[in-house]
A and B are shown apart, each in its own frame.
Chain A
Amino acid sequence: MHYNTGYHREAIPLVRRFVEMFRESECVCVPSASCVAMMREHYALIARQENDAALLADGHALLPRVFEFSELLTERLQLEDVGASFAQSVTYHPSCHSLRMLNIREGPLKLLRAVRGLDLRDLPEREQCCGFGGTFAVKNADVSVAMLEAKEACVIETGAEVVTALDNSCLMQIYGGLHRAGSPVKTMHIAEILASTEGAV
């Protein structure tokens, strides 16, 4: 949030703290593609700008062990079927940062297809941004909402009961619009669906 809005100086201590906190971890799971994108795209850049060789080295050592949630399952653990059961129709919104910065394309769809009872619906225009964009959502609220309305229309067109994604920020935006419009479509992070078992819903 700080870095992307232009508060670069304020982001530095947060970067240091993250690297310090997780330096010893065997594996770090992050339930947000956007956060992982920040680390992979900018940590090295920030360390170089700060002329901090130690931070650069620690970041380099840590980053290969940092996984976005679905990446951890499909790439690190080579899983597709996690044994979940979820008897509802679901559509998947590929968030911009998962798609274009982390290049996550098929993994989440494979995970969802393996869920028992789940009816996966294709989202039209799925690569279009939902209009969240961090502080863009409040700085350019009118445009953000216009983009959101286009996304909502696509979600509703699928007839799905649930819309899911790898990023809670996008889901917060989509929920905000759907709920305000009185739509019964629910928003769930992919982890919530994969954690569902028979009769849980």
Chain B
Amino acid sequence: MSVRVGKTSAARAFPVAAKEALGNEQLRRNVHHATDVIRNKRALRVEEMPDWQQLRDAASEIKQHTLAHLDFYLEEFTRNCERAGGKVHWARDADEANAIAVKLIREFAGEGAQEVIKVKTMTSDEVQMNVALEAADITPIETDLADMIVQLGHDEPSHIVVPALHKNRVEIRDIFRREMNLPELTEQPEELAAAARRYLRERFLRTKIGISGANFLVAETGAVCVVESEGNGRMCVTLPEMLITLVGIEKVIPRSQDLEAFLQLLPRSATGERMNPYNSLWSGVTSGDGPREFHVILLDNGRTKLLEDELERETLQCIRCGACLNACPVYRETGGLAYGSIYSGPIGAILSPQLQSLEHSRSLPYASTLCGACYEVCPVKIDIPEVLIHLRGRLVREEQKTLSGKLGIENLAMQAAATSFTSARRYEAAQRFARVGQKLFEHDGELRNLPGLAGGWTKFRDLRAIPKQSFREWWKSEGRS
């Protein structure tokens, strides 16, 4: 089995990619503006809900319960989906999911070049399905406006919900001018939307195969639920003759009634809307109405591995609303591309390293100040800071097993600090030693150009020298004890 999450394996370390992002003023302005707008809209729509905290509790409990009995609910979903005329396929990893999709398309449409229309699915980016389809001479057409911008711009998604958030209108106009051959196009939103509409309508009408993701799978009915704002999703799941839905196994919920909590939490958290404009819910196939062939690909790709540990399992509660990205002060400065993973921001920093393997994204658990803004807004109460600390612990323990890790400057500094913190005598001695040592770097009571790790501090910031008298020494000199 080979678990892959987007292009995570080839990504640069976060601090390196982040530094580059920080140098891009246009990108930062776009991300600041977009996250501020969504964050404020969300806050308004949450404040008006008197039972918001109870809804969060309920959603979190439903998810916890489902994940604790995931095998049961997946089997129930499969039975009910197939009874309604759908067909369920199980994929262990990215390659299996892609192979199933290509095989289904070939069986349906025969050999030769094909086109498929797609509605926003992060899971397909996770398995890099577009790359696999293109290799099989099948052209994927993204129909979500933002995904379409990313695809036409040969770009990567930078946000879970708003993948083209890092682009502004002028940049989007330039992509459309070039890719749709519309040299006269302006950046007026109405013009951009009309251009996208014309471009997409043609493709909706001529394409016979659709690929979607899913927000929820309902075990008791075998239904699939997709929520969206633009209506392109409704087109993709109703117009084609065949529909393939790719979905992570954690998306199943037990009952239709559970949607009551999720359909209130998701739109308010994701886009600051009271309700999504389009809520599509379908099961199986119906003669004369919608696709005549319907397949669900249930994707594992590293998810079952997270079920063993109670804290790691919390990660699978995620409903991909993106609220944590909009709330995160780190994401606000760097945007999503710096995370080198299609899942970015706080949830990306815990999801990608766990799905794939810590090895491929060692810097992501450290891409946070643990400020807690992500946990505060999470509609299903994933304690992201706690999971980050847990992953940091795993990384440190792995590192300490190697000689270079043992002798690494950070490890030595942490060991030395731990030793001095456990004894008053050693702590005071260290303090005296530091007071003498700092003289080498001290100018007018400020420390400059410190060596090693501390250099990361003094390169950008000043630091007051350790005072001549500590609080404890002052306390003693006052005759108290």
Contact = CB atoms under 8 A, between A and B. Distances in A.
Interface of A: 1-11, 13-14, 17, 41, 96-97, 99-101, 127-129, 131-148, 150, 172-173, 175-177, 179-180
Contacts of A1: 414, 417
Contacts of A147: 329-330, 333, 369
A137 B457 contact: yes
Contacts of A128: 329
B370 A10 contact: no
Contact of B371 (A96, A137, A175): A96
B405 to A, nearest CB: 12
Contacts of A100: 371-373, 375-376
Q: Do most interface residues of chain A lie in helix, strand or loop, or is the interface mixed?
A: helix
Contacts of A148: 461
Contacts of B366: 135-136, 139-140
Nearest to B462: A179
Interface in B426-472: 446, 453-457, 459-464
A17 B422 contact: yes
Interface residues of B, number: 48
Nearest to B421: A14
Interface in B265-301: none
Contacts of A97: 372
5 contacts: A6-B395, A7-B393, A14-B422, A138-B456, A176-B461
Interface of B: 14-15, 18-19, 22, 329-330, 333-334, 365-373, 375-376, 386, 389, 391-397, 410, 414-415, 417-418, 421-422, 446, 453-457, 459-464
Nearest to B453: A138
Given A1-B417, A3-B389, A179-B446, A138 B372 contact: no
Contact of B18 (A3, A10, A143): A143
A49 B410 CA distance: 24
A74 B365 CA distance: 36
Contacts of B396: 5-8
Contact of A145 (B367, B453, B460): B460
Contacts of A150: 329, 333
Given A8-B393, A131-B329, 7 more contacts: A4-B370, A6-B395, A10-B418, A129-B329, A134-B369, A139-B15, A140-B14
Q: Which has the most chain B C-beta neighbours within 10 Å: A4, A13, A177?
A: A4
B370 A138 contact: no
Contacts of B18: 140, 142-143
A96 B373 contact: yes
Among all A-B residue pairs, the 10 with the closest Cβ atoms: A133-B369, A176-B461, A6-B392, A138-B456, A100-B372, A6-B396, A129-B371, A96-B371, A141-B456, A179-B462
Given A7-B414, A96-B371, A146-B333, A141 B462 contact: no
Contact of A177 (B334, B370, B410, B461): B461
B454 A138 contact: yes
Contacts of A143: 15, 18, 22, 330, 333-334, 367
Nearest to A138: B456
Nearest to A21: B424
Contacts of B367: 140, 143
Q: Do most interface residues of chain B lie in helix, strand or loop, or is the interface mixed?
A: helix
A138 B457 contact: yes
A4 B212 CA distance: 39
A29 B423 CA distance: 20
A29 to B, nearest CB: 12
Contacts of A138: 453-457
Q: Which has the most chain A C-beta neighbours within 10 Å: B365, B375, B417?
A: B417
Contacts of B463: 172, 176
A134 B446 CA distance: 20
Contacts of A129: 329, 369, 371, 373
B34 to A, nearest CB: 16
A184 B372 CA distance: 31
B393 A10 contact: no
Nearest to A140: B15
B389 A4 contact: yes
Contacts of B446: 179
B418 A173 contact: no
Contacts of A177: 460-461
B369 A132 contact: yes
A134 B392 CA distance: 13
A172 to B, nearest CB: 7
B369 A136 contact: yes
Given A100-B373, A129-B329, A176 B462 contact: yes
Contacts of B417: 1-2
Contact of B456 (A8, A132, A139, A179): A139
Contacts of B459: 141
Contacts of B464: 172, 175
Given A13-B418, A96-B371, A141 B329 contact: no
A61 to B, nearest CB: 21
Contacts of A136: 366, 368-370
Contacts of B418: 2, 7, 10-11, 13-14
Nearest to B415: A10
Contacts of A99: 372
Contacts of A144: 369
Q: Which has the most chain B C-beta neighbours within 10 Å: A132, A142, A175?
A: A142
A6 to B, nearest CB: 3
A118 B410 CA distance: 43
B461 A13 contact: no
A133 B369 CA distance: 4
Contact of A101 (B14, B372, B394): B372
B389 A142 contact: no
B480 to A, nearest CB: 14
Contact of A141 (B368, B369, B392, B457): B457
Contacts of A9: 397
A150 B36 CA distance: 14
A139 B413 CA distance: 14
Contacts of B415: 10
Contact of B461 (A17, A101, A140, A145): A145
Nearest to A187: B464
Contacts of A14: 418, 421-422
